Amino acid sequence: MHARTATCCCGQLRAVCEGEPERVRLCNCTECQRRTGSVYGVNAYFLRTHVRIEGGSKSFRRSSAAGRWVETHFCPECGSTVCWQLEQMLDVIGVAAGAFADPNFPAPKAANWTENKYHWVPLPGGISAHSKQT
Ligand SMILES: [Zn+2]
Ligand SMILES: [Zn+2]
């Protein structure tokens, strides 16, 4: 099966993802803004059974806007977050779309938390926009 590999900046932490993501979301929530250091995150979700994590990571567990835990896994050397787990969707692993560094990666079909969107950020055409979570 076709696989894509998401990596941290230094390359030691990798998530090898088989097949296509279950869903891809553009998220404007403040947590994604802080996680990425950018003004939104693009989050790809793969079935857990289709993801193989390689390399060492540290994790950080926080509460989501909906009150459930989200645990991000980041490289202890370079600090990049590569993937995360969500209490509300334990069968999938979230992977930072930018970590694939693949301009042909599938586009997000929905944008979440547009109420937190930086006002000068345009959304891709054809995307469904949601003021909170989809
Ligand atoms: Zn690294
Ligand atoms: Zn978010």
| Cα 79 to ligand 1 centre (Å) | 6
Tell me the two tokens of residue 24: 């891809």
Q: Over its length of 134 residues, how does the chain's per-residue pLDDT go in tens digits? A: 799 999 999 999 999 999 999 999 999 999 999 999 999 999 999 999 999 999 999 999 999 777 899 999 999 999 999 999 999 999 999 999 999 999 999 999 999 999 999 999 999 999 999 999 87
Q: C-alpha distances in angstroms, 21 versus 2, 63, 87, 105?
A: 11, 24, 18, 10
| Cα 24 to ligand 1 centre (Å) | 23
Nearest listed ligand to the Cα of residue 75: 1
Q: C-alpha distances in angstroms, 36 versus 2, 59, 66, 133?
A: 27, 15, 19, 18
The residue assigned the tokens 């994790």 is 59
- Cα(first)–Cα(last) distance of the chain, in Å? 29
Query: In the chain, what are the domains?
Result: 3-101 (2.170.150.70)
